[in-house]
């Protein structure tokens, strides 16, 4: 299942900077997406809509990728989901300037 975690990271990493560019706390935004038992698609769509207003060309190809990340997360077992959350929290601790 570590492969699923790595796949989410690989798939999401290229788009995270654009998606969270104007977020006060990017880690909190990521945790919101991944905190529940299922990926928060409503929040993801709100982030995407905000990006599409600022940079529509950049946002257009991102939506299918974002939803695919959600599908991957939902398919992970609970232990791997929790591991992803811990990794986000650890990254937040190591990045004090971002929060």
Q: Give per-residue pLDDT as tens, 38-94.
A: 999 999 999 999 999 999 998 888 899 899 999 999 999 999 999 999 988 988 787
Tell me which residue range forms the domain holding 51: 2-98
State the total domains in the chain.
Answer: 1
CB atoms within 10 A of CB 70: 20
Q: How far apart are CA 14 and CA 82, in angstroms?
A: 22
Residue reference for tokens 């929290």: 89
State the residue for tokens 């939902």. 74
Q: What is the pLDDT of residues 87-96, one digit of tens each?
A: 889 887 877 6
**Contact (Cβ atoms closer than 8 angstroms) between residue 68 and residue 41:** no
42: tokens are 């409503």
DSSP 68: H
pTM score, whole prediction: 0.82
């Amino acid at each position: 299942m570590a492969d699923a975690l790595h796949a989410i990271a690989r798939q999401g990493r290229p788009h995270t900077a654009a998606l969270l560019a104007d977020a006060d706390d990017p880690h909190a935004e990521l945790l919101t997406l991944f905190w529940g038992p299922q990926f928060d698609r409503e929040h993801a769509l709100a982030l995407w809509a905000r990006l599409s207003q600022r940079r529509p060309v950049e946002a257009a190809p991102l939506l299918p990728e974002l939803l695919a990340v959600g599908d991957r997360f939902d398919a992970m077992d609970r232990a791997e989901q929790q591991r992803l959350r811990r990794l986000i929290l650890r990254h937040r601790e190591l990045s004090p300037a971002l929060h």
